[in-house]
Amino acid sequence: MRRTLMLAGLLALVPGTATAQPPKATAKAAPYVMPRSEVLHMRSAAGAEYVVYIAWPEAPPPPGGYPILYMLDGTESFAIAAEYENRLGSYVGLAPGIVVAIGYPGATRREIDYSPETPKGVDIAPARGPTGGADVFLDFLATRLIPAVEKGRSVNADRRTLAGYSFGGLFTLHALFSRPELFRTYVASSPSIWFGDKQVLKQVPSLPDRLAKLKTQRRLLLTAGEYEQSAPPGMEQDPSWLRIADLSRHAKMVDNARALSEELRSAPLQVEFRVHPGETHASGDWPAIRDALRLAFASQP
């Protein structure tokens, strides 16, 4: 879903048949290097390979340790999130913290890693490959990735945040519903709740009991773009919209997120739902990253 909508948005920006060519590097050119960062290569118990990007602040950790943000689709989200937090965050009231982004060394596995298992016969379109590996991926985060990242670092485990967009938002909900003890804050941006006939919602009835066992209240931010299931004004007959219109209406990104936020208000959970004005599914990545940064590194959590 995310890839389809992004493609539609990008096509509208490509002028004619002109193809931009990057300039050739000179002998003196050097790659940009982000300060206070590192890249880990990790493998799950099942043999899946991941690239884990980590950035930490220059400021020393507070007495309780740094807040820490884990972001999905890390190859796309890491650079902007880490640089904004570490260079500009203090200007908007963000506390120093650690940014961790989980990506892939080659082809993405997001459809299988971020989607819950569904019974046979349940429609999972428009997924194009294997799905249903969310529990395996969540176990990898809990037993391998988080311990490896936080070992030797001053981290406040009670200020651990998970953030994901689209299929990543779906996984963020799955993590909250199945293992809410892992993170304090969950940012599910434009979550693909539609997947597998809303399979992720099957976990909601057991959530209050899971949350009641925790010492601190969990937080969930649900968001969606204003034009994720309808055309932006003036584009009702635009080919880029018509190509995805049926799929967008079927996915009901805004309606599903709003309905879930209302359903969860009776649970022992701090829930907020927000619609980003003017955004489509193709343009919502930056508001999603901004939301994650603001919640994860708020000076007053």
- Domain assignment present for 17: no
DSSP state of 266: G
The answer to whether position 26 is within a domain reads: no
Neighbour count for residue 118 (Cβ, 10 Å)? 18
Tally of CB atoms within 10 A around 250: 12
Q: How confident is the model at residue 182 (pLDDT cuts 50, 70, 90)?
A: very high
Quote the tokens at residue 152: 């030797």
Residue 8 lies in a domain: no
- Per the listing, tokens 């099957």 go with 202
Tokens 């690239």 belong to 51
Mean pLDDT over the full length of the chain: 90
The pLDDT assigned to 122 comes to 81
pLDDT at 11 (0 to 100): 29
pLDDT in tens, 89-136: 998 999 999 999 999 999 999 999 999 999 887 877 776 778 999 999
**pLDDT bucket at 23, cuts 50 / 70 / 90:** low
Residue 5 forms part of a structural domain:
no
pTM of the model: 0.89
In the chain, pLDDT over 90 holds for what percent of residues?
81
227-258 confidence digits (pLDDT tens): 999 999 999 999 999 999 998 999 999 999 99
Distances (CA, A) of 2 to 9, 169, 280, 283: 11, 11, 10, 10
Residue 82 lies in a domain: yes
Q: Residue holding tokens 């990057």?
A: 22
pLDDT at 29: 86
Three-state DSSP class for residue 184: coil
Instruction: Work out how many domains the chain is built from and give that number.
Output: 1
* Chain centroid, CA 133 distance in Å: 16
Going from the C-alpha of 220 to that of each of 177, 237, 264, the distances in angstroms are 11, 36, 10
In a domain, 20, yes or no: no
> Quick check: 141 and 179 in contact, CB under 8 A?
no
| 25, part of any domain | no
Residues 186-201 have a mean pLDDT of 96
Q: In this predicted structure, which of 25-34, 135-144, 204-213 has the lowest mean pLDDT?
A: 25-34
Look up the domain containing 104 and give its range. Answer: 34-296
Instruction: Measure the CA–CA gap between 138 and 11, rounded to whole angstroms.
Output: 34
- Residue 205 counted as domain residue: yes
Q: What is the CATH number of the domain that holds 260?
A: 3.40.50.1820
Residue showing tokens 């936020």: 261
